[in-house]
Structure 1
Amino acid sequence: MRIAQVAPLYESVPPYGYGATERVVHYLTEALVALGHHVTLFATADSTTSAELVPICERGLWRDAAVWDTLTHHVREVEAVVQRAGRFGVVHFHTDPLYFPSARRLPCAHVTTLHGRLLPADHGPLLREFSEAPLVSISNCQREPIAWANWQATIHHGLPEEAFGLCEDPEDYLLFLGRMMPEKRPDLAIDIARRAGVRLKMAAKVHPGEKQYFEERIAPLIEANRDTVDYLGEVGGQARIELLSKARALVFPIQWPEPFGMVMIEAMACGTPTIAFGCGAVPEVLDDGVTGYIVDDADAAVDAIARLGAIDRRRCRTVFETRFTSMRMALEYVDVYEALLEGGSARDGGVRALSVRG
């Protein structure tokens, strides 16, 4: 099958540090190539891939000081896809929906994975206008606000089995990993670690739009809790994997409808349990008492830290291998591609990934 993967241009594929969508596109692309498909990746020129790369811009737009208007580059990407669309059987979009008008005129099948939060007031009118557009959700929770859209499947993210190794002898620290944004509640992560008496390492990116929040709300907390908190900034590559694998637990005190939560399965692949608030897709991803603890508030999170010894890190890894590998993800996407190429629908009403509880 000849497949095009169209990535957002904010980060390279894969990204250095933060960038869950670009990371998923990388894992999916590599798995599809391994399955024998001919894959073309539309992404930044500094991307690394086994597929054929069509470079759109020199580097990730968020890392290019000369770039101010990211929209212009994504418009160029749409045109690059349209010009080459006759070469593909399926075009798989992972970007903002700028291409929807052009997709109606593509000479091939297409599908879109929506990676972000869906808002009825914003996405509702768009998806009613383009009601024929085939969509994939990354969790059942994500699709609920617009359940009537043309959903083909829910496909949970996956990781290569060899990318993260099991660590059975962790060090004595908790980890907050991701992005410094109010909805992810880094302030609560600090409070939870302080009350539990366990050191917290924070490896988090500060986007320009969240700089004021960080400087006014989080930086003072870090300074006031220097005996508890190590702020590492954005961490990528092998250092990021080591942080995840050696942590006693990942702390994920989100207070928003998280569409998936990639970092939870990255931790799971290392055998590291997650302590998470039960928002968004968390109950779909975590098996409470098996791969971590789903809690309601900070008090319950502190209690859960005291119970981390009951979590079997080998069991965490086993659940990952069963539910969240990139090969499983790729095979499910191939099912969707084949159904669309046959002129039918891959609609299945829900997630395909297996759940292991026990």
Structure 2
Amino acid sequence: MASDVALISDIVLDLDGSVKPAWCLAEALAAKGFKVVFVSPFISRGIEGYICECGVIPMNLDVKLIVRNIDPSLIWLEVWMREAFLRLNSINLKLNSNIIINFSHTISIDSSIWYLQGAPSIALKDIKPYMPLRFKLIYDTIKPLIDYSDRKLVEEIYEKSAIAIANSKFCASMYSRWGVKIHSVIYPPIDIDVFHPSTSKPSSDYVLAYFGKETKFDVIRKVADQGVRIKAFGSKMFMIPKYLLRHPNIEFLGRVSTERLVDLYSNALYTIFPFTHEPFGYIPLESMACGTPVLTYGVQGPSEVVVDEVTGWLIEDDREFVDKAVELWVDGYDPTIRRVCRDRAYKFDRARYVEEWMGILDKLCESAVR
């Protein structure tokens, strides 16, 4: 039975990353006849228009930002701080929808479901060793406030939510340590019609890497130092050490289109994903959907996506990571692994994701009718 549903998202500069789970569900619900309101502290104008075209009602809170024109990670952090420290994003926010699903860590509001995607204080602690010096100094100064405020915000949003669902078992374990009872795990979706092999004959003459706030750049450098040719993409320029951009074996492509990214994944020999903190792991999943195996660590979210020695390789430490990267570059691997990677990605397809959500929402709609 169709109903009114409000989905609360993080800042919407595009429809990827932490926004993707909320947007995928919004599109599916609108197509099924639900009245869907898509709420966010900030929605870029171009995306706001697209949301309307898809039959979803955007509610742009349009919060006043200081860092509007710089890195998206810093914009997100500012928006989170507004809520964690002063509750500025949720002040005076009232929603009348029958069902409210909060996909955000930046708005505290009564909800039917809170979808957990990671605690900022834990992510910042893990990322700290790779921060530029100026950010380390700022972080060290306000870390006690961040830790305290994050814990209090989590407790408050959880208290306001009927149930909590996590985006991975690792994510569930993080929140469980703070007293959050996890109802279930629903992995984020991937569109396998978009992310698919673009060629049957990959060039395999480079390794693909993502440069982001969670990247272990020193591991990337050590791999490149061993003669491995790396192509890298990403938009978080402020985090990237200058020595990597000058490295003769690294070609940094910056932000790329989805079509270009699919081609990069498809033609790579393998994808490397050395990370400091990753609750789920879109990069490994996108790579596998394009038929390319992944070298990463056997911890946190990526260990739930990649199957060791089947769709990639799960490594214990940085030294082993570099050694394995060189071994694969020199010796290669059984090419049939590419087909297995694609098969594995089907388990995370958006159709499966929507089906899981509909099972939960059907029960909520029945309860609302009663």
Shorter-chain TM-score range: 0.7 to 0.9
1:1-358 maps to which residues of 2 (within 5 A)?
Answer: 1-9=3-11, 11-15=12-16, 20-43=17-40, 44=43, 45-47=45-47, 48-49=50-51, 50=54, 51-57=56-62, 64=69, 70=79, 78=90, 82-83=93-94, 85-86=95-96, 88-99=97-108, 102-103=109-110, 109-117=111-119, 122=148, 123-128=150-155, 130-131=158-159, 133=161, 134-147=163-176, 148-167=179-198, 168-171=200-203, 172-179=205-212, 181=213, 183-195=214-226, 197-206=227-236, 211=238, 214=240, 218-223=241-246, 225-226=247-248, 228-256=249-277, 258-296=278-316, 297=320, 298-305=322-329, 306-321=331-346, 323-341=347-365
Q: What's the offset of the Cα at 1:282?
A: 1.8
Seen in structure 2, the aligned counterparts of structure 1 residues 261 and 178 have a Cα distance that, compared at 3 Å, is: farther
Contact 1:254 1:279 in 2 (8 A): no
How far apart, CA to CA, are the structure 2 residues paired with 1:291 and 1:31?
A: 29
- The one-letter code sitting in structure 1 at the alignment partner of 2:345 is F
How far apart, CA to CA, are the structure 2 residues paired with 1:59 and 1:313?
A: 46
How far apart, CA to CA, are the structure 2 residues paired with 1:165 and 1:141?
A: 27
Q: Deviations over 1:162-207 (max 9, x none)?
A: 212224322211111251x3x4212312322442x33101112226
Q: What's the offset of the Cα at 1:37?
A: 3.1
Root-mean-square deviation (Å): 3.2
Seen in structure 2, the aligned counterparts of structure 1 residues 200 and 54 have a Cα distance that, compared at 3 Å, is: same
Seen in structure 2, the aligned counterparts of structure 1 residues 243 and 57 have a Cα distance that, compared at 3 Å, is: farther
How far apart, CA to CA, are the structure 1 residues paired with 2:101 and 2:27?
A: 14
Q: What's the offset of the Cα at 1:91?
A: 1.3
How far apart, CA to CA, are the structure 2 residues paired with 1:308 and 1:177?
A: 22
Q: What's the offset of the Cα at 1:244?
A: 2.1
- The one-letter code sitting in structure 2 at the alignment partner of 1:12 is L
SS at match of 1:266: helix
SS at match of 2:310: coil
Q: What's the offset of the Cα at 1:21?
A: 0.6
Q: What's the offset of the Cα at 1:264?
A: 1.3
Seen in structure 2, the aligned counterparts of structure 1 residues 57 and 243 have a Cα distance that, compared at 3 Å, is: farther
The residue that corresponds to 1:351 in the other structure is none
Instruction: Using the TM superposition, name which of 302-311 and 245-254 deviates more.
Output: 302-311
- The one-letter code sitting in structure 2 at the alignment partner of 1:252 is F
How far apart, CA to CA, are the structure 1 residues paired with 2:13 and 2:63?
A: 9
Contact 2:80 2:105 in 1 (8 A): no
Contact 1:291 1:311 in 2 (8 A): no
Contact 1:156 1:324 in 2 (8 A): yes
TM-score, with normalisation over the residues of structure 1?
Answer: 0.76
Contact 1:13 1:25 in 2 (8 A): no
Structure 1: gaps spanning 5 or more residues = 104-108, 345-358
Instruction: Using the TM superposition, name which of 291-300 and 54-63 deviates more.
Output: 54-63
Q: What's the offset of the Cα at 1:243?
A: 2.0
TM-score, with normalisation over the residues of structure 2?
Answer: 0.74
Q: What's the offset of the Cα at 1:247?
A: 1.8
Q: What's the offset of the Cα at 1:343?
A: 5.5
Seen in structure 2, the aligned counterparts of structure 1 residues 64 and 128 have a Cα distance that, compared at 3 Å, is: closer
Seen in structure 2, the aligned counterparts of structure 1 residues 40 and 206 have a Cα distance that, compared at 3 Å, is: same
Q: What's the offset of the Cα at 1:149?
A: 1.1
Q: What's the offset of the Cα at 1:275?
A: 0.8
Aligned sequence identity (%): 21
Q: What's the offset of the Cα at 1:238?
A: 2.3
Seen in structure 2, the aligned counterparts of structure 1 residues 116 and 244 have a Cα distance that, compared at 3 Å, is: same
How far apart, CA to CA, are the structure 2 residues paired with 1:61 and 1:336?
A: 38
- The one-letter code sitting in structure 2 at the alignment partner of 1:333 is W
Structure 2: gaps spanning 5 or more residues = 123-146
How far apart, CA to CA, are the structure 1 residues paired with 2:273 and 2:312?
A: 11
Q: What's the offset of the Cα at 1:220?
A: 1.4
How far apart, CA to CA, are the structure 1 residues paired with 2:155 and 2:106?
A: 13
